[in-house]
Amino acid sequence: MKVTDGAGEWSHELTLLRFARHRIWPNSEAAPVPFSGSITVIPATGSTPETVTSEKEASTAGGTVPVPGGPGDAPPAATVETRTIGEETILSISAPTGNKPNDQMRKDESHLETQKVQATACTTTILKEQTDAGEQFLSWLRAGLASGDIITNDVRARVHVVPEGILIVSPAIFKDFAHHSNNDWNHVQKRFQKMGFHEKTPQGTNIHSYHTAGGRKTSTVNGLLIRDHSSLFQDTAPSPNPHLGKK
């Protein structure tokens, strides 16, 4: 959106988040003075800009602000209370008169839930199509990291990014997968190791040991070390966990 002050002395393009005003200021009297400038929604190519104006200008315009939308999917105009137009236009512009303030939030939550169900269904399909337990585990791990279902660099995490690569905690991560796939975890780990993604220790063993740092109590985290981040992460991998160090 393009934001311009009331005096026209400055103008900037900003990315804004919309919240219902009462969620930030339950007491309307505690809310700040409404913005006196204008906020213009930057449209897609071929669309007409829609400008959200100050309280005075909006009142003159009749108290309604049209909501921009895609072709064939334009929502009804939103009625704006002129006494709070500077704030409500930003926070409630998508809600027509009579809609509950949290309608959009419910839609967003429903959309996220649908995405999670679709991701689960996709993982289930992959597991059915692949017969090798190691390949099934790899697909499950990649999908979980991409969706965020498998967390990283947390005290409960099964996956940690370290300076040397990616440490997947063994046997915990394989037991987690076995719970979802009805496979024996030991068999899954052996099949995955056969795929050659991990790096062995100088002693020729598969398991690397790391220790926690930064606290009075230290502990050891054991797992397989995978050098290539792109083997597991579709996008850029998180930064290394500062609390883990090589033993």
Instruction: Express each pLDDT in 163-218 by its tens digit.
Output: 999 999 999 999 999 998 888 999 999 999 999 999 999 999 999 999 987 667 78
Give the relative orientation of helices 133-147 and 172-181 as an angle to the nearest 10 degrees. 100
> Are residue 169 and residue 185 in the same domain, yes or no?
yes
Bridge partners, residue 38, by sequence = 4
Is the model more confident about 218 or about 88?
Answer: 218
pLDDT mean across residues, the chain: 73
> Are residue 28 and residue 143 in the same domain, yes or no?
no
> Are residue 221 and residue 112 in the same domain, yes or no?
yes
> Is 121's pLDDT higher than 90?
no
pLDDT score of 217: 76
Q: How many residues does the chain have?
A: 247
> Are residue 127 and residue 143 in the same domain, yes or no?
yes
The boundaries of the domain holding residue 11 are 2-101
> Are residue 73 and residue 182 in the same domain, yes or no?
no
> Are residue 175 and residue 83 in the same domain, yes or no?
no
> Are residue 125 and residue 232 in the same domain, yes or no?
yes
CA 212 to chain centre: 27
> Are residue 133 and residue 39 in the same domain, yes or no?
no
Q: What is the rounded average pLDDT of the residues 40-66?
A: 53
> Are residue 169 and residue 73 in the same domain, yes or no?
no
> Are residue 211 and residue 130 in the same domain, yes or no?
yes
Question: What pLDDT band is residue 232 in, cutting at 50, 70 and 90?
Answer: very high
CB 14 within 8 A of CB 3: yes
Domain boundary at 53, 70, 101, which?
101
pLDDT score of 86: 41
**% of the chain with per-residue pLDDT over 70:** 59
pLDDT score of 16: 75
Domain boundary at 101, 116, 141, which?
101
Q: Which of 19-28, 124-133, 176-185 has the highest mean pLDDT?
A: 176-185
pLDDT in tens, 58-81: 444 444 444 444 444 444 444 444
> Is 104's pLDDT higher than 70?
no
Q: Which CATH number does the domain housing residue 164 bear?
A: 2.40.10.200
> Are residue 216 and residue 115 in the same domain, yes or no?
yes
Domain boundary at 85, 101, 117, which?
101
DSSP class of residue 222?
E
Distance CA 149, CA 123 (A): 12
How many domains in the chain?
2
Which residue, 173, 153, 154, 149, is CA-closest to 163?
Answer: 153
CB 209 within 8 A of CB 221: yes
Locate the DSSP E strands across the chain.
2-4, 11-13, 38-41, 50-52, 64-65, 78-79, 159-162, 165-169, 198-199, 208-212, 220-226, 244-246
82, 104, 120, 128 from 180: Cα distances, Å: 55, 34, 11, 12
> Are residue 131 and residue 229 in the same domain, yes or no?
yes
The answer to pTM > 0.75 is no
